[in-house]
Structure 1
Amino acid sequence: MPPHVWVVGSLIAQEGRGDFFSTINAILVKMPGSEVALGFLVLASVVSWAIIIFKAIQLRAATVESRDFLEKFWAAKRLDAAFQESEAFQRSPVSMVFRAGYIELARLRKQAEDTMLGGGIENVERALRRTQISESTKLESLSSFLATVGSTAPFVGLFGTVWGIMRAFHDIGKHGSANLATVAPGIAEALIATAVGLLAAIPAVMAFNFFLSRVKVIESEMDSFSSDFLNIVKRHYFR
């Protein structure tokens, strides 16, 4: 191939690639990347705060009512009296565990015509465990969303930052200058995306860790109460 033909072909190819990348750049810059990122982060932050408030109320009620129920339970002389008291503590996981165990115990006693039970303690234990799992699931609900926001929001903010920098460089190329008036809007947009991403992530992570610790405490209380309840039942109702 003659040298001049090769040179002309190379120039045409380079020009074609330049037009292609210019077109892609123009399309990308016109797309609302930063706006979409900011909108997502604001929405995620609003939902996160709604969940944080809801979970704070839920766990607070669970903690307070469980404490009050345990006081009533240990002060009661009979299990049926404690069962009646437990109706006032519907938001207490410990109370729900007790109610499930007592209902199963009452069913077994009815079948045995209120005599000493020779077997069936496994049924009571299963009822307690089943309710513990159900209550733990309720306590842990929605917390995964906070963990997701905490792990993804910084990256979404970084995406908005990159998009804002792309726009800043595009504006520099379009105006042919790199003065403050040209660069500042894009950089400011980029920094806003980063800040909003962190503002969405930090409270979500802190709340998730706090709620996780509170759930573990309540689960420990349920385990401890289940053991105590089983011991009482074995001593008084099973031979």
Structure 2
Amino acid sequence: MHFPLTPHGQPGTLLAICGFDGTGKSTLEEAVLAAVSPTSPCSVAWAPTEWWRQDANIRRTLFGSGPGQVVPEESLLHFSLADCHALQADVILPALARGELVIVNRYLFDMVALLEARGLTRPEWLPGAAARIVAPDHCFVLDGAAEMIVDRVVRRDGAMPGRFDQDVRFTERYNTALRRMAEANHLTVLRADAAPGENLRRCLDVLRDAEGRPFPAPAADPVAVAHPG
């Protein structure tokens, strides 16, 4: 599905990093920030926001924990869209207006992939409802074998039976949905099993070509953070 997102029209640059938990989003985010921030103003943001993450109904529906109520899948989608709008109004657009490079860990595409993996058929109204979400100037999708990704999460968090982020079949459904969106929306796919420095170099090359600014090349592969996201 193609999403006709809105150009933000601000002097800054919006860079989104997408992918399932464990693909290395946080590693790449921190590496780009370390490479770019010495010469250019930067901001970072996480999607979904804490408002979404800590909602009792979200936690009950996704993780089966807490006192909330299990809500319908379309309700999760509505809440996700509201969260996207809140994040861009409160964090993304003000930083872009200041001329900053805004690095967002996860974006709309991740939220839709999550719900598709849970079995939600995309409603016909979704593209129109998402149309006023701002389009990233650059969006990188980290993709890899579901077995490898789940193994990373299990090694990081310990085995948690029943968790969707430790389910190989769920992870593959998520990856399949995200790959389709990457193709339909011309997003740049990176290999989750690539060396961190390789993915960083690809990101910086894209930024240099598009921005015309001399972002420095990394001297060596960055060390992976302890909790790849």
Q: Which has the higher contact order (CA 8 A, sep 6+)?
A: 2
- On whether the aligned pair clears a TM of 0.5, the verdict is no
Q: Which has the higher helix share?
A: 1
Class of the TM-score when normalised by the shorter of the 2 chains: under 0.3
